Amino acid sequence: MPVIAQEVFIMAMNLMDEETEDGSYEGYPEEYKKKAWPLLTILQTELLPPSETPTKITNENSTFQLDDQTCLMTVPYGLAAHLLLTEDQNRAAFFNARYDELKRKKPIVTTVIEDAFSIDPIGSLDNDIW
């Protein structure tokens, strides 16, 4: 079952320490929700390969085009960083650093590049130079 935006939002709220023990939210959850969906679209777009066209995250039931591990481990940190940017720059910086660290660990998708000009850079270095 694909990860939905509400799950990532709740994880970000937990990271930000906005959820209380009874499951309710402190602070500005509605303000956060209004900001969350466009921010999640931006984060998803950043994490997708350039060859994929992203879909918009428009509400809590929107699904991601990313793998579940990235959605559940990386994206919440990016969302928390963006939501806290104007409120608490120290916490935002912490979450952003963690997001960047996890983003770098994301497996790289390699794409074969077609040589349209039939140039062999290794063969063109003949032994004459060396």
* 94 in Cβ contact with 77 (< 8 Å): no
DSSP string, 93-115: HHHHHHHHHHHHHSPPPP-PPP-
- Please tell me the predicted confidence (pLDDT) of residue 91: 96
Structure-block tokens of residue 104:
């770098």
Domain ranges (residues) in the chain: 5-125
Per-residue pLDDT of the chain (130 residues), as tens digits, is: 889 999 999 999 999 988 777 777 666 678 899 999 999 999 999 999 989 999 999 999 999 999 999 999 999 999 999 999 999 999 999 999 999 999 998 666 666 777 777 766 665 555 555 4
pLDDT at residue 124 in the model: 55
Distance (Å, whole) CA 18 – CA 69: 23
* Per-residue 3-state assignment (H helix, E strand, C coil) for 11-23: HHHHHCCCECCCC
